[in-house]
Amino acid sequence: MSYWVRVLLLCALSCPVWASAAEPTHACALVVDAGARLSCYDEAFPPPPEVGEAAARKAIDGFGLGDNSSSAPVSTPGAETADPDSVAARVVRVDYGSGGRRRVLLDNDQAWTLAEASSAGPLRPGDEVLVRKGLMGGYLLRTPSGVSLRVRRTR
């Protein structure tokens, strides 16, 4: 065996990085559940406030966009909530879409369509509204006059 082969073999067998590669580097690495593991790391190494703010914005942006069960909500330190129950916004425009149903564009760039064409309740640009979760996966838009209208998120 040549001299250089023996040197390389000796280095390979004595290298501490390779010998310790199978051992976990942190206790959180041993947590099996992905959500619990992330929580463990977040507790050990708290993320900056910007991460919590971004998580809250992402949750509001996705509010009402259908089933998000594929990405289970994970608690992020500093985030108000990973799954909001309601979103407050201001009406930018009200127009009529297909079937004569009113469509409401909000200042957060969300668009909601009223479930029924004959839905009562005045809505004007500038009105402060609250869209909240209703029963059985539906959503309700509450007007400034207190009328709750069934809506569906279209954008």
The verdict on 58 and 12 lying in the same domain is yes
Query: According to the model, what pLDDT value does residue 12 have?
Result: 66
Residue with the bigger pLDDT between 12 and 77: it is 12
Number of domains the chain is built from = 2
Query: According to the model, what pLDDT value does residue 37 have?
Result: 92
Query: According to the model, what pLDDT value does residue 75 have?
Result: 54
Pairing of strands 111-114, 139-142: unpaired
Q: 40-82: per-residue pLDDT in tens?
A: 998 999 989 888 888 888 888 888 887 544 344 455 554 444 6
Q: Is the pTM of this model over 0.75?
A: no
Return the CA Rg of the chain.
26
The verdict on 59 and 1 lying in the same domain is yes
Contact 25, 17 (CB under 8 A): no
The verdict on 1 and 74 lying in the same domain is yes
The verdict on 2 and 78 lying in the same domain is yes
Q: Which helix (H) or strand (E) holds 90?
A: strand 86-96
Query: According to the model, what pLDDT value does residue 132 have?
Result: 93
Cβ-based neighbour number of residue 141 at 10 Å: 25
Residue with the bigger pLDDT between 62 and 33: it is 33
The verdict on 102 and 146 lying in the same domain is yes
Query: Last residue of a domain, which of 82, 113, 144?
Result: 82
Residue with the bigger pLDDT between 2 and 16: it is 2
Query: According to the model, what pLDDT value does residue 79 have?
Result: 46
**Domain span at 149:** 86-153
Residue with the bigger pLDDT between 59 and 7: it is 59
Q: Is 17 helix (H, G, I), strand (E, B) or coil?
A: helix
Give the alpha-carbon dihedral of 43, 49, 85, 33, to 10 degrees.
-30
Closest CA to 40 of 74, 64, 67, 73: 74
The verdict on 75 and 130 lying in the same domain is no
The verdict on 40 and 2 lying in the same domain is yes
Q: 107-151: per-residue pLDDT in tens?
A: 999 999 988 766 667 889 999 999 999 888 889 999 998 888 899
Query: According to the model, what pLDDT value does residue 107 have?
Result: 93
The C-alpha atoms of residue 70 and residue 36 are separated, in whole angstroms, by 17
